[in-house]
Structure 1
Amino acid sequence: MSKILDKIKKLLALAKSSNEHEAANALRRAQKLMQEHKLTAEDVSLSEVEQREIKRANAAEKQPLWANLLTGCITNAFGLDAILSWNRNVGATVIFIGPADRVEIGTYCYEVLAPQLVKARRNYLNKLSKRLKLTTKTNRADLFAEGWISAVRRQVHALVPTEEEQNLIQLYKEKHFPKLHKTEVRSAEQKRRDLDAYYEGHGAGRNVRLNAGVNGAEQGKLGSSV
């Protein structure tokens, strides 16, 4: 079906030709293909939108805030939408939705950033005093992760999707995910004595580079400066 949709889209593009005969012929052929395969104009438009599902940086059912912030960093950078999912067999996943090329690079960037963040958070957690309560250590590690993501996000120029893209993504979600609902997140407590963890994470995150390009430009660079 994807080949048929691609052919229809090419014909519809030709239908905008300044050559009236060529345009009319292309439109007739596109309409014929759509009728033969029982496709609507909405079906053709929605074929521009794709989704990709990958495992999240944190596997818990109730996600920490930093995990959601990481997802938001990617959707913000590449003009995407995201759906968060969890089930017993697979665990926690994120589904990125948007134009195919941006979904591909956004997913790639998430897969590179997530382990960097998890490793940085774990290293920070391991160096904390063993005398601290587990809840205190977890809270500080979460704040560290939030600071890390904040620093990375500051480097990114947000890619705002066009109104047409936003509408298509919304239609796609309504068609494929009609029963979405909100879930709770685990927020770190910002106690004064723990805030140093946030600033340390912010300092570590400043060494990470995420550069997003658009429409054939350089699409992504990820890494840590030394």
Structure 2
Amino acid sequence: MTEDQRNKLIERIKRLLALSKSPNEHEAAAAMSKAQELMRELSITEEDLELTDFATVRTDTLLVKSGHKLPVYVSDLACLMETAFGVECIFSDGQRNKDVIFVGTKSKTEICVYTWTVLARILKTKMAEYKFSITHLKCSPGKKAALAEEYCEGWVSGVRQNIVPDTVSQRESELTKKLINMKFKIKPADLRGSGASGDEANDAYFQGIQARENTRLHQGMQADKRGTLSETRYLGRA
């Protein structure tokens, strides 16, 4: 039996289980009997059926090259996503950049891909604008890059203050972790801090927090008619 055939039978079982709640006693009993027969035939448990509503979805981080250490601000952005949507985030090297993998219910992971893309593009723009704003500073390109990362850390921290945490049931959390254990071998991320310190670093971080004022996104957002990504939509507190 192919994976596609198995998935079709699983969907049929789910429909039969739904039909087993019919007010028509004979129809309900027949549906339950057939569902149990198929579950035994395929060695499918109730937990297997629950897991069909969960998924792992991968997308380009747009922010980190493959093989490079993960900047703290990117890790913080993943934590923001976990808080806002009740998913788990995993990083993996892609063909060119690192990928972020969202694990959770199908509806949540689909939204996460779009939301991450919006936030990552806004963040890249904010970082470029900040770098331009400090061109007058008499310091090395390396220090300017470090200050820009400190700014990004502040920006993500500021955006996170606007987020209303998603409520995740214990069962959803258990199934998410089970799916991760089934599909991935997790190891701690190799993080890299900005390396900036002192008053200039503190100032960069504070400017990042201030710059998040107009960056609020909506959990159910969609691109506008031209597919433009905007930073004026809302996620969390108004």
- TM-score in same-fold range (> 0.5): yes
- The whole-number CA distance in structure 2 between the counterparts of 1:147 and 1:120 is 11
1:52 equivalent in structure 2: 57
Contact preservation (8 Å) 1:65, 1:187: yes
Amino acid across the alignment from 1:166? S
Contact preservation (8 Å) 1:152, 1:210: no
The question of 1:86 aligning with 2:93 is answered: yes
Deviations 1:99-122 (A, max 9, x none): 111111111111111111011112
1:100 equivalent in structure 2: 106
User: Once the 2 structures are TM-superposed, how far is the Cα of residue 18 of structure 1 from its aligned partner?
Assistant: 5.5
| Residue from 185, 191, 205 that aligns with 2:191 | 185
Deviations 1:143-200 (A, max 9, x none): 11111112221112110211111011111011111x2110221112442232111111
Map 1:1-226 onto structure 2 (within 5 A). Answer: 1-17=6-22, 20-60=25-65, 61-86=68-93, 89-128=95-134, 129=136, 131-177=138-184, 179-188=185-194, 189-212=196-219, 219-220=220-221, 223-225=230-232
* Alignment CA distance shift 1:145-1:32 (3 Å): same
Amino acid across the alignment from 2:55? E
Matched pairs, number: 217
User: Once the 2 structures are TM-superposed, how far is the Cα of residue 5 of structure 1 from its aligned partner?
Assistant: 2.1
- The whole-number CA distance in structure 1 between the counterparts of 2:82 and 2:155 is 17
Any stretches of 5+ residues in structure 1 without a counterpart? 213-218
- The whole-number CA distance in structure 1 between the counterparts of 2:76 and 2:212 is 13
Report SS of the residue matched to 1:220.
coil
TM-score by structure 1 length?
A: 0.86
Contact preservation (8 Å) 1:75, 1:106: no
Contact preservation (8 Å) 1:209, 1:223: no
Amino acid across the alignment from 2:119? L
User: Once the 2 structures are TM-superposed, how far is the Cα of residue 210 of structure 1 from its aligned partner?
Assistant: 1.3
Contact preservation (8 Å) 1:82, 1:94: yes
Contact preservation (8 Å) 2:63, 2:97: no
2:236 equivalent in structure 1: none
Amino acid across the alignment from 1:8? I
Percent identity for Structure 1 against Structure 2 = 31
Amino acid across the alignment from 1:32? E
Amino acid across the alignment from 1:82? C
Report SS of the residue matched to 1:30.
helix
- The whole-number CA distance in structure 2 between the counterparts of 1:151 and 1:167 is 30
- The whole-number CA distance in structure 2 between the counterparts of 1:28 and 1:84 is 43
- The whole-number CA distance in structure 1 between the counterparts of 2:47 and 2:171 is 12
- Identify the range of structure 1 (76-85 vs 25-34) with the bigger mean alpha-carbon deviation: 25-34
Contact preservation (8 Å) 1:121, 1:141: yes
TM-score by structure 2 length?
A: 0.82
User: Once the 2 structures are TM-superposed, how far is the Cα of residue 90 of structure 1 from its aligned partner?
Assistant: 4.1
User: Once the 2 structures are TM-superposed, how far is the Cα of residue 134 of structure 1 from its aligned partner?
Assistant: 2.5
Contact preservation (8 Å) 1:140, 1:197: yes
User: Once the 2 structures are TM-superposed, how far is the Cα of residue 130 of structure 1 from its aligned partner?
Assistant: 5.8
Deviations 1:86-141 (A, max 9, x none): 25x34311100111111111111111111110111122113323631233212210
Pairwise CA RMSD: 2.0
User: Once the 2 structures are TM-superposed, how far is the Cα of residue 19 of structure 1 from its aligned partner?
Assistant: 5.0
